[in-house]
């Protein structure tokens, strides 16, 4: 390895993850010396961090950032839905909007209206602080109502369910069964959980009685001193509602909350083209499979894959409110997609907003409302001060 030019070694290191690099340090003193080279350090970091982030990093931070990447994998970023102006249909009241940005198989949020509607989320813990209570609750619940519940809601064949696998939406869903369960001894020692679900439902009823559409949920914990590195998205629109999302726009911000609610008329590619053409500084395409948009910028990455299933356009992060991706489902039988963002799309974010632009009608449904399964943002959570990666349970 000592005989190889430094640029060749740099390219080799580019294809190794951090753990693999550190595992080979004992094999070569030359490699240890190379890792002290700032250019090598920057090259390694550039495979993980976008250009927008690298600009903010000082050279003396390189080695600590590399160490923070060791034994870490890309994860679902814990955004928590906090606000909507589209109202909630009845079947969504129990679930609230907290799980809008979580990948689950459960029925998700259904809103009442389409016109200029959104759901906003903030970088926060993915559930309120109920971990230990949930463990006790789950074991008691399964013991009384049987193993079938464990398999259905917790994907487990044992009553020894890990607290990390229990999500708040499972708790809400199971309370539906508890309300019909006459033996109140099931709540012995678990009064906190029962009181929580009662107060939560009461809160929603009071809000909807005052305003059917503008709803806000303050029952969440913000991740302190954290900011997310957005690197990809997974979207599922499969639900049991009569209307599901067809066309959406995702917007991010480095502020903790998104306050502005701009109206967008972007149901067609032509409308999207006109928006980009009118304001190319704000809407600069980074990735797309739409031929009409491929020549807006020399940096635009064009890929004609999946055009019969969905079309999309991502944007470079510019300004305070940063458009992330415009997406439209083309095939009515396509329900789930995964998109990895390139270096020009990736960005830092503390908040996210989902804009509802257009819908598809389903022939078979159980509920009424405009719904989606989940919008799951993929990437890392960073310390906002030193930009080291944080491990979030």
pLDDT > 70 fraction of the chain, expressed in percent and rounded? 70
How far apart (Å, rounded) are the C-alpha atoms in residues 315 and 300? 9
CA distance 115 to 17: 45
- Work out the average pLDDT over 246-250: 97
Q: Which of 62-71, 88-97, 296-305 has the highest mean pLDDT?
A: 296-305
Query: Would you state the structure tokens that stand for residue 382, as one six-digit string?
Result: 């960073």
Q: What is the mean pLDDT of the chain?
A: 80
- Identify the three-state secondary structure at position 370: strand
Closest alpha carbon to 91 in 245, 240, 246: 240
Tokens for 250, please give them: 């995702």
The number of helix segments (H) and strand segments (E) in the chain equals: 11, 17
Find how far residue 80's CA is from the centre of its chain. 9
pLDDT given for residue 162 in this prediction: 60
Instruction: Flag the least confident range among 11-15, 33-37, 71-75, 223-227.
Output: 11-15
Q: What is the mean pLDDT of residues 380-393?
A: 85
Q: What is the three-class DSSP state of 209?
A: helix
**258: phi then psi, degrees, rounded to nearest 5:** -95, 115
Is 235 within 8 Å of 371 (Cβ atoms)? no
- 22-26, 130-134, 265-269 — which is least confidently predicted? 130-134
Band (pLDDT 50/70/90 cuts) for residue 139 is: low
Q: What confidence category does residue 38 fall into, taking pLDDT thresholds of 50, 70 and 90?
A: confident
Burial class (CB within 10 angstroms; exposed 0-12, middle 13-18, buried 19+) of 59: exposed
When comparing pLDDT for 154 and 17, which is higher? 17
Identify which of 114-118, 155-159, 259-263, 388-392 has the greatest average pLDDT: 114-118
Q: What's the pTM?
A: 0.81
Q: What is the spatial distance between Cα 335 and Cα 372, in angstroms, rounded to a whole number? A: 9
Given pLDDT bands bounded at 50, 70 and 90, which one contains residue 129? very low
Span 144-169, mean pLDDT?
Answer: 58
CB 379 within 8 A of CB 229: yes
What local confidence, expressed as pLDDT, does residue 212 receive? 84
**Among the listed ranges 33-47, 110-124, 292-306, 329-343, which one has the minimum average pLDDT value?**
33-47
The sign one gets for the Cα dihedral 302, 306, 309, 314 is: negative
294 touches 288 (CB < 8 A): yes
Name the residue with higher pLDDT: 64 or 15: 64
* pLDDT over 80 (residue 372): yes
Q: Region 350-371: what's the mean pLDDT?
A: 92
Q: How far apart are CA 338 and CA 103, in angstroms?
A: 12
At 73 the pLDDT is 79
In sequence order, which residues have a C-beta less than 8 Å from that of residue 172 and are 6 or more positions away?
94, 95, 96, 197, 200
Cβ neighbors of 323 (< 8 A, separation 6 or more) are 249, 250, 251, 282, 283, 315
pLDDT band at 100 (very low <50, low <70, confident <90, very high): confident
Considering 49-63, 99-113, 277-291, the range whose residues carry the highest mean pLDDT is 277-291
Q: For 85-99, 316-330, 375-389, which range has the lowest pLDDT when averaged over its residues?
A: 85-99
Residues 6 or more apart whose CB falls under 8 angstroms from that of 119 comprise 81, 83, 84, 86, 97, 100, 109, 111, 353, 354
Confidence band of 89 (pLDDT split at 50, 70, 90): confident
In Å, how far are 81, 162, 259 from 351, measured between CA atoms?
Answer: 9, 29, 10
Contacts of 264 (CB under 8 A, 6+ apart): 249, 275, 355, 357
pLDDT at residue number 246 = 97
């Amino acid at each position: 390895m000592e005989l190889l030019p430094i640029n060749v070694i740099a390219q080799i290191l580019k294809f190794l993850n951090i753990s693999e690099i550190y595992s080979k340090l004992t094999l070569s003193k030359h490699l240890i010396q190379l890792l002290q080279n700032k250019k090598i350090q920057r090259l390694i970091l550039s495979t993980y961090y976008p250009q927008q982030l690298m600009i903010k990093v000082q050279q003396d931070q390189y080695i600590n950032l590399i160490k923070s990447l060791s034994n870490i994998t890309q994860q679902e970023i814990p955004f928590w839905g906090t606000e909507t102006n589209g109202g909630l249909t009845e079947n969504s009241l129990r679930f609230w909007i907290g799980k809008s940005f979580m990948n689950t198989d459960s029925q998700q949020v259904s809103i009442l209206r389409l016109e200029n509607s959104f759901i906003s989320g903030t970088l926060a813990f993915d559930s309120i602080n109920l971990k230990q209570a949930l463990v006790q609750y789950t074991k008691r619940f399964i013991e009384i109502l049987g193993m079938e519940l464990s398999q259905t809601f917790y994907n487990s064949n044992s009553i020894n369910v890990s607290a990390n696998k229990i999500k708040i939406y499972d708790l809400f869903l199971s309370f539906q069964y508890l309300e019909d369960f006459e033996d109140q001894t099931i709540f012995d020692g678990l009064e906190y959980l029962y009181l929580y679900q009662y107060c939560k439902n009461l809160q929603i009823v009071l809000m909807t009685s005052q305003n059917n559409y503008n709803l806000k949920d303050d029952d969440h914990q913000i991740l302190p001193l954290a900011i997310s590195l957005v690197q990809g998205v997974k979207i599922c629109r499969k639900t049991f509602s009569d209307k599901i999302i067809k066309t959406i726009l995702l917007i991010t911000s480095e502020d903790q909350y998104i306050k502005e609610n701009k109206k967008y008329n972007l149901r067609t590619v032509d409308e999207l083209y006109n928006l980009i053409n009118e304001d190319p500084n704000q809407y600069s395409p980074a990735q797309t499979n739409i031929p009409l948009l491929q020549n807006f910028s020399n940096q635009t990455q064009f890929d004609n894959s999946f055009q019969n299933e969905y079309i999309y356009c991502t944007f470079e992060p510019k300004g305070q409110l940063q458009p992330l991706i415009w997406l439209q489902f083309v095939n009515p039988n396509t329900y789930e997609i995964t998109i990895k963002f390139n270096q020009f799309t990736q960005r830092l974010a503390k908040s996210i907003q989902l804009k509802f632009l257009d819908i598809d009608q389903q022939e078979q449904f159980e509920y009424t409302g405009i719904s989606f399964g989940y919008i799951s943002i993929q990437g890392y959570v960073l310390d906002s001060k030193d930009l080291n990666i944080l491990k979030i349970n």
